[in-house]
């Protein structure tokens, strides 16, 4: 499914999992508590942003979320391997250009794979 | 059938022994039988873990917690309880003794050796589910006390929130059937290490090999702590199709002050160049093809390390999703 690319590119990185585009609400995750909160409030439409690519905190919600964004990592990271098992798009080693990623929390946007290797993060207008 | 032992040499058992020594050790055993270079070591069987549990004063509480499905919202709490029960149980002396004895033998060859403790669950490295990064690895261990301590922590990691979730959601096996072997191996003091996929997981091309490489220990690739170099190679001609030099800002080395590892800044010069030579890339791909052939041509996810220019293979598992 190719989503219409209305919006602005706020980050670019390596697309290491499913090449399906995803649209949802960005949610920054920094702790297990964040994950549990998401379990209660609903993780279904979330594109999760993490700084640490360890799968530690994401395990419980990987089957529910729309996609994963990580500021480090590569196709060989455990989070990439497990994202491929859950068939959700994952963009890693993302460089955020115009906006600190913390500011994306709660906003709507997209993950779009531009080719086999690269992906872009869009913030909806 | 012969009795299952508590401890086996790596290489004594092969692929058909996942239920005895877990996925990682069974696969390493198969590689050793084919003369693939694997660091020397041994493995505690799942029977060792069962003996440890059976002697635990918390056995019934552990069994009770593992007897049913765990609601998502209770996973963290249950995980904490289970891990505390494991960590607070005493290590049986008749189990500790053969482990320490075998460890001392490794140490006799070279007093400066360090060992790694790696999980080898009986649900690990299956064809559809990798269990990747669900249980913990402990690197650069230098004393018998720390070894025993790390084995206990490795067992406890089978009940981390993420592992419990993964088992329940992905593998769908009752918890009471899940057990863990533990691999104890000589540490490779790697100058370069990484991951190699014998099929390109990015574009699903089975005629391409994809290598991730970085300076120091490779754990920081798995943990996603670095952006490694990436090299794509044609599997038939061995021609390098594409290279991407990763930032490799940090590297993992032995902690100089205690057991374990630390992250340091990678020297700027090394950050800016590819950390593998063309010859090393070729040799790696050759091993990749051999290993893939060994596992019925199923594309493999291989962890490797290079010490003094020599390649060692640390792990091989099926690529679970292509």
Non-local CB neighbours of A30 within 8 Å, separated by 6+ positions: A50, A51
Q: How far is CA B317 from the centre of its chain?
A: 10
Angle at A69 between CA B193 and CA A77, to 5 degrees: 20
For position A82, what pLDDT does the model report?
85
Query: Which of B128, B129, B222 shows the shortest C-beta gap to A77?
Result: B222
CA distance B186 to chain A (A): 23
Best of A74, A88, A94, A116 to substitute, by most chain B Cβ atoms within 10 angstroms, is A74
pLDDT digits (tens, 9 = 90+) for B215-234: 999 988 888 888 999 999 99
Q: For residue B1, give Cα distances in angstroms to A21, A87, B4, B5, B13.
A: 53, 41, 9, 12, 14
ipTM of the complex: 0.84
For position B88, what pLDDT does the model report?
97
For position A98, what pLDDT does the model report?
80
For position B157, what pLDDT does the model report?
94
For position B39, what pLDDT does the model report?
96
Contact between residue A83 and residue A62 where contact means Cβ atoms under 8 Å apart? yes
Angle at B63 between CA B73 and CA A36, to 5 degrees: 10
Non-local CB neighbours of B236 within 8 Å, separated by 6+ positions: B207
Q: What whole-number distance in Å separates Cα of residue A99 and Cα of residue B231?
A: 31
Nearest to B229 by CA among B197, B273, B266: B273
Domain covering B7-186 in this structure, CATH number: 3.30.1490.20
Joined together, the tokens standing for residue B111 give 């007093």
A31 by Cβ neighbours in 10 Å (0-12 / 13-18 / 19+) ranks as exposed
Superfamily of domain B192-318: ATP-grasp fold, B domain (3.30.470.20)
Best of A42, A81, A86, A113 to substitute, by most chain B Cβ atoms within 10 angstroms, is A81
- List, in order of start, the domains of chain A with CATH numbers: 8-123 (3.50.30.10)
Phi and psi angles of residue B215, each rounded to the nearest 5 degrees, phi first: -80, 145
DSSP label of B171: I
For position B49, what pLDDT does the model report?
97
Ranges of residues in chain B with a pLDDT under 70 are 1-2, 125, 127
Average pLDDT score over residue span A7-32? 92
Joined together, the tokens standing for residue B233 give 């190679």
pLDDT at A1 > cutoff 50: no
Q: What is the DSSP string of A52-95?
A: S--STTTGGGTTT-SEEEESS--TTSHHHHHHHHHT--EEEEEE
Packed helices B59-66 and B75-88: angle between N→C axes, nearest 10 degrees: 160
Q: How high is the mean pLDDT of chain A?
A: 88
Q: Which residues of B touch A36 (CB under 8 A)?
A: 73, 76
User: Residue for token digits 């009986």?
Assistant: B122
Report the residue of chain B nearest A50, measured CA to CA. Answer: B224
For position B299, what pLDDT does the model report?
96
Phi and psi angles of residue B179, each rounded to the nearest 5 degrees, phi first: -140, 175
pLDDT digits (tens, 9 = 90+) for B22-32: 999 999 999 99
Which A-chain residues 52-71 have CB contacts (< 8 A) with chain B? 52-60, 63, 70
Query: Which of A32, A78, A117 shows the shortest C-beta gap to B161?
Result: A32
CB contact under 8 A, A74 and B224: yes
Q: What whole-number distance in Å separates Cα of residue B312 and Cα of residue B196?
A: 12
Non-local CB neighbours of B18 within 8 Å, separated by 6+ positions: B26, B122, B125
Per-domain boundaries in chain B: 7-186, 192-318
Q: What whole-number distance in Å separates Cα of residue A74 and Cα of residue A54?
A: 12
pLDDT at A40 > cutoff 70: yes
Nearest to B301 by CA among B291, B309, B293: B291
For position B169, what pLDDT does the model report?
78
Q: What whole-number distance in Å separates Cα of residue B91 and Cα of residue B94?
A: 9
Packed helices B46-54 and B18-33: angle between N→C axes, nearest 10 degrees: 150
pLDDT at A56 > cutoff 70: no
CA distance B95 to chain A (A): 30
pLDDT digits (tens, 9 = 90+) for B101-152: 999 999 998 889 999 999 999 987 676 777 877 888 999 999 999 999 999 9
């Amino acid at each position: 499914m190719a989503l219409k690319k209305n919006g602005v590119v706020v980050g670019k990185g390596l697309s290491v999992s499913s090449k399906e585009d995803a649209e949802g609400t960005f949610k920054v995750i920094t702790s297990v508590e964040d994950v549990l909160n998401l379990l209660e409030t609903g993780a279904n439409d979330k594109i999760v942003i993490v700084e640490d690519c360890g799968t530690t905190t994401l395990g419980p919600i990987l089957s529910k979320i729309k996609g994963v964004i990580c500021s480090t990592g590569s196709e060989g990271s455990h989070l990439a391997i497990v994202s491929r098992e859950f068939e959700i798009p994952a963009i890693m080693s993302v460089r955020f250009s115009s906006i600190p990623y913390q500011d994306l929390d709660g906003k709507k946007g997209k993950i779009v794979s531009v080719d086999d290797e690269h992906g872009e993060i869009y913030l909806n207008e | 059938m012969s009795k299952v032992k508590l401890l086996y040499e790596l290489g004594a058992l092969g692929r058909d022994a996942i239920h005895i020594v877990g996925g990682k050790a069974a696969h390493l055993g198969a590689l050793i039988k084919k003369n693939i270079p694997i660091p020397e070591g041994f493995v505690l069987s799942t029977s060792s873990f069962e003996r440890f549990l059976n002697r635990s004063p918390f056995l019934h509480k552990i069994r009770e917690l593992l007897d049913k499905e765990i609601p998502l919202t209770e996973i963290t709490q249950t995980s904490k309880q289970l891990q505390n029960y494991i960590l607070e149980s005493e290590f049986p002396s008749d189990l500790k003794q053969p482990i320490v004895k075998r460890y001392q033998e490794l140490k006799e060859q070279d007093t400066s050796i360090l060992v790694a403790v790696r999980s080898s669950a009986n649900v690990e490295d299956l064809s559809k589910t990798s269990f990747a990064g669900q249980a913990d690895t402990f690197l650069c261990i230098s004393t018998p006390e720390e070894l025993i301590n790390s084995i206990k922590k490795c067992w406890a990691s089978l009940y981390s929130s993420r592992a419990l979730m993964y088992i329940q959601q992905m593998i769908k096996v009752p918890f009471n059937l899940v057990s863990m072997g533990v691999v104890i191996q000589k540490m490779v003091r790697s100058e370069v290490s990484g991951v190699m996929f014998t099929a390109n997981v990015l574009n699903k091309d089975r005629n391409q090999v994809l290598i991730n490489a970085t300076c120091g220990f490779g754990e920081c690739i798995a943990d996603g702590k670095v952006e490694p170099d990436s090299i794509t190679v044609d599997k038939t001609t061995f021609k390098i199709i594409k290279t991407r030099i990763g930032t490799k800002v940090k590297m993992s080395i032995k902690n100089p002050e205690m057991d374990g590892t630390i992250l340091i800044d990678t020297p700027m010069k090394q950050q800016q160049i590819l950390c593998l030579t063309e010859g090393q890339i070729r040799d790696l791909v050759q091993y990749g093809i051999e290993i893939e052939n060994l596992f019925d041509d199923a594309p493999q996810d291989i962890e490797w390390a290079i010490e003094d220019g020599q390649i060692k293979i640390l792990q091989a598992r099926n690529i679970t999703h292509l």
